[in-house]
Amino acid sequence: MSEKVRTVSDSSFEQEVLQSERPVLVDFWAAWCAPCRMLAPTVEAVGEQYFGSADVVKVNVDDSPVTAGTYGIRGIPTLILFKAGKEVERIVGATSKESISRIIDNHLSLASA
């Protein structure tokens, strides 16, 4: 993990994600999940790309079952974009950097409009 992508847990989720001033992309994952490991470099790249304008964090579903349950995480990887404390987009399964960037860009442009 880099300084561009932080790990959050059940105890820090509200402060780090729901109270954030910026859009926050949350990657729900687990160490045993092969698609999650495949997606990890993409999530890191997105964190680098949007550093300073959007936050990117990871939640390990095994370590943070309360948060995973709260958001109905049934399959991983699941990426959820939060804005102003609300879920605004969700992608389930491995996806491309372009798909992730598109949803973040949509909400960044809405913020500046």
What residues are annotated to the active site?
A: 33, 36
| Residues across the chain | 113
The answer to whether the beta carbons of residues 28 and 73 sit under 8 Å apart is yes
- Residue 113 contacts by C-beta under 8 Å, 6 or more apart in sequence? none
